[in-house]
Amino acid sequence: MSQSIVSSTNLETKSLVFECETGNYHTFCPISCVSWLYQKIEDSFFLVIGTKTCGYFLQNALGVMIFAEPRYAMAELEESDISAQLNDYKELKRLCLQIKQDRNPSVIVWIGTCTTEIIKMDLEGMAPRLEREIGIPIVVARANGLDYAFTQGEDTVLSAMAQRCPEFQSNGENTDLAPSLAVLESTSECKEQILSKANVDPLVLFGSVPNTVATELNLELNRQGIEISGWLPSQHYVNLPALGKNVYVCGINPFLSRTATTLMRRRKCQLIGAPFPIGPDGTRAWIEKICSIFNIVPQGLEEREKKIWQSLENDLQLIRGKSVFFMGDNLLEVSLARFLIRCGMIVYEIGIPYMDRRFQASELEFLEKTCLEMNVPIPRIIEKPDNYYQIQRIRELQPDLVITGMAHANPLEARGITTKWSVEFTFSQIHGFSNARQILDLVIRPLKRQKTLKNFNFTK
């Protein structure tokens, strides 16, 4: 038996252990981020610059969204383009002028693919010139298959957009509050409250989530007296948040490490390192960390989390004691594993394509704390897992559920192993207190299906 298998099946781990197997990446192409970003940024248009293969992929990946009018297109590179026989600038200008005439978006996002990387297309050099000619902002994002996971396509787009956000101006005085102060001049307490809010540094959240989820997270922070000054991305490109050295930023997804780096290094923002708001436990820890930064004592979070867990009790009874194995696909693995351990499941292994330990430091610490509180072994984290070794470990451990990419689901199911597509967690609403049930539904559904199949008599 391989040493890799032996080390990873040792379930007596008492502290976080990281391994790297340098296996191949088995994930979607990052240009799939177009499917959710064009819906989030309502006044945008995405132009994917690649080959026919990229077009076929988008056609299949986004084909389920036939009821929504798409705001994306392909700029297909032919053999003459790749051999540099044609003028790339003229063709991109023609397409962007057509987009302006047909849609007139507030921003055009160029998505560079693997081919543009290989042939060294100077997208960043062409974009400013064309932007001046057509009068529409052009954002260049290199969301190509050379990234670790498909969710990092969003990371490259948000990192590029962060550099287009306006500069935050801190003058020490807020002129917008002058009328309020004049009206309440005789009431010193009210005047002090308004001034205290005016002096609080702004908070910007980054990560693309549906508007309903964004509204819920806004309300949760509002209950604690914290106002959100903006989101990256915003619902409209023209409403991008102001950024600067006096602005706090906090991420809501673990795959946004490049965006976090851009916000800190280039925009001089102050990053709040917190666990991610996935599950009731993660949401509470996320809010508490933000409150601590603003010197606010959180109110009612313990009771709110307790009520959510009580409402989930019937579902929790179905998964307590069950085991789960993460093969690694979308970089949400650590947060999901932490939540499922809190639910009473046993996590054998957390496979993950890429691990930024600095950006996920709070989440990793929270995972370790959760395992100690639940009195269960801490699962090993395998970066860039080798699928050959993983399948051998799955055969040995026989987990009740394997959360994996679409490529491995059917082969594993054919061998009697219950699976769940990890991509479904990406496209589902899993953030905040109220969406914890959505995560449990995704986990319980394949377990119920497997139980039904075992009880079904095929001989009749």
Is 190 annotated to bind ligand?
Answer: no
In the 8-state DSSP scheme, what is residue 239?
A: G
Task: Convert 345-369 to b/e letters by CB count within 10 Å (16 or more is b).
Answer: bbbbbbbbbbbbeebbebbbebbee
pLDDT at 225: 94
Is 29 annotated to bind ligand?
Answer: yes
| Token pair listed for 408 | 């491995």
pLDDT tens digits, the chain, 460 residues: what are they? 334 444 444 445 567 899 999 777 777 888 889 988 998 999 999 999 988 888 888 887 766 554 456 788 888 887 655 545 457 888 899 999 999 999 999 999 999 998 888 888 889 999 999 999 999 999 999 988 777 888 999 999 999 999 999 999 876 544 333 333 333 343 444 434 433 444 478 999 999 999 999 999 999 999 999 999 999 999 999 999 999 999 999 999 999 999 999 999 999 999 999 999 999 999 999 999 999 999 999 999 999 999 999 999 999 999 999 999 999 899 999 999 999 999 999 999 999 999 999 999 999 999 999 999 999 999 999 999 998 999 999 999 999 999 998 889 999 999 999 999 999 999 999 999 999 999 999 999 999 888 777 776 555 5
250 Ramachandran zone, left/alpha/beta (phi>0; psi -120 to 50): beta
3-state secondary structure 166-180: CECCCCCCCHHHHHH
Q: Please confirm whether the linkage preceding 233 is cis (ω < 30° from 0).
A: yes
Contact by Cβ (8 Å): 334, 363: yes
Is 54 annotated to bind ligand?
Answer: yes
| Token pair listed for 214 | 């964004």
pLDDT at 188: 44
pLDDT at 459: 52
Token pair 């490259």: residue: 156
Sorted by sequence, the CB contacts under 8 Å of residue 396 that are 6+ apart come out as 5, 9
Sorted by sequence, the CB contacts under 8 Å of residue 193 that are 6+ apart come out as none
Contact by Cβ (8 Å): 217, 205: yes
207 Ramachandran zone, left/alpha/beta (phi>0; psi -120 to 50): left
pLDDT at 377: 92
| Token pair listed for 157 | 């787009």
Contact by Cβ (8 Å): 403, 327: yes
First to last CA, the chain: 42
pLDDT at 194: 37
pTM: 0.88
- Tell me the C-alpha distance between 444 and 440, whole Å: 6
In the 8-state DSSP scheme, what is residue 277?
A: S
Domains in the chain, please, with CATH?
A: 3-25+302-455 (3.40.50.1980), 30-147 (3.40.50.1980), 182-293 (3.40.50.1980)
- Tell me the C-alpha distance between 340 and 309, whole Å: 12
- Tell me the C-alpha distance between 411 and 101, whole Å: 47
β-bridge pairing 248-251 and 346-352: unpaired
Contact by Cβ (8 Å): 143, 114: no
